């Protein structure tokens, strides 16, 4: 689809103006992006899924064209704020029940949504799921060199440095988009769209706030390991790219301890961005899963 073909809409939810793209009819699917992404990360999925579902792809607060409130990380960008935004959007759009498709930071938000609003969910579909069972492994051995950015993004001057020029921002985003994908050229055609979005307004700093508000949770996992939690009962499907260097495929081994009804498969020759790297397979699997849930 060309840029002019996307249906851009806004809704006032939870004290902010939330941007989303909306297409199709049928049972509603909410597509929640991760970092460093925004709604456009699902550009290869929205048209195909909209043939069977009503698809809504929002920008989470701190990303894309959603309002970035002039608040500190702790006062306006917590996981609870993100969950409240998603809940508010579901209410505003009049959906009694939705399916959520997500990964990375969005998967963190989706799991908390599932624990606090299970009655509003028909199903969960994750790519390379960021879940508590990863535990201490996120900071062990050779994986330490992969998570440096989480501390860097929390530094008070990080956004100023990355945003000091378009070249600096492009270098930063290109690293994560190319290094985390199985094929480093995957995002070449869209890299400038990413740079335009993250150089806009306060998006770099607001997006980096995610790492400020989740720092305590990451530290607790490293110190105490995977916690014991009540399993999420919502039917769940997980696809995991085998070449992801940040959410490694072996981290999937404890999914059954956190999800009561979980279907899992790994995807060869695919990295962190399964939905973007393997859109045809993704669209087929998402449609098949949710056709059984609604």
State the catalytic residues.
Answer: 104, 211, 272
Q: Which among 36, 84, 12, 19 is positioned nearest to 206, based on CA atoms? A: 36
Rounded CA separation 284/274 (Å):
13
Tokens of 165: 């020029």
Q: Which two tokens stand for residue 19?
A: 């941007």
Please give the biggest Cα pair distance in the chain: 49
Contact indicator for 46, 55 with CB cutoff of 8 Å:
yes
Element containing residue 56 per DSSP (H, E): strand 54-58
Rounded to whole angstroms, the Cα distance separating 102 from 127 reads 6
> Do residues 30 and 56 make contact, with C-beta atoms less than 8 angstroms apart?
yes
């Amino acid at each position: 689809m060309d840029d002019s073909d996307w249906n851009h809409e806004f809704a006032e939810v939870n004290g902010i103006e939330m941007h989303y793209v909306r297409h199709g009819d049928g049972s509603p699917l909410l597509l929640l992006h991760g970092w460093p992404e925004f709604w456009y990360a699902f550009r290869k999925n929205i048209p195909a899924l909209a043939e069977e579902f009503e698809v809504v792809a929002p920008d989470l607060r701190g990303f894309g064209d959603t309002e970035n409130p002039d608040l500190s990380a702790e006062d306006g960008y917590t996981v609870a704020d993100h969950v409240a935004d998603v809940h508010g959007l579901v209410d505003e759009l009049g959906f009694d029940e939705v399916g959520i498709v997500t990964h990375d930071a969005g998967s963190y938000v989706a799991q908390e949504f599932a624990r606090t609003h299970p009655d509003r969910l028909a199903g969960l579909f994750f790519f390379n799921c960021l879940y508590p069972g990863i535990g201490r492994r996120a900071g062990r051995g050779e994986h330490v060199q992969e998570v440096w950015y989480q501390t860097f993004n929390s530094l008070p001057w990080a956004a100023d440095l990355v945003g000091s020029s378009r070249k600096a921002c492009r270098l930063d985003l290109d690293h994560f988009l190319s290094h985390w994908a199985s094929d480093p050229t995957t995002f070449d055609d869209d890299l400038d769209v990413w740079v335009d979005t993250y150089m806009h307004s306060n998006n770099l700093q607001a997006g980096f706030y995610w790492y400020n508000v989740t720092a305590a949770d990451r530290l607790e996992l490293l110190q105490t390991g995977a916690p014991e939690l009540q399993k999420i009962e919502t039917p769940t499907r997980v696809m995991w790219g085998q070449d992801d260097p940040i959410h490694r495929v072996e981290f999937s081994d404890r999914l059954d301890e956190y999800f009561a009804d979980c279907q899992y498969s790994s995807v060869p020759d695919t990295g962190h961005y399964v939905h973007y790297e393997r859109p045809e397979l993704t669209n087929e699997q998402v449609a098949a899963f949710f056709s059984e849930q609604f």
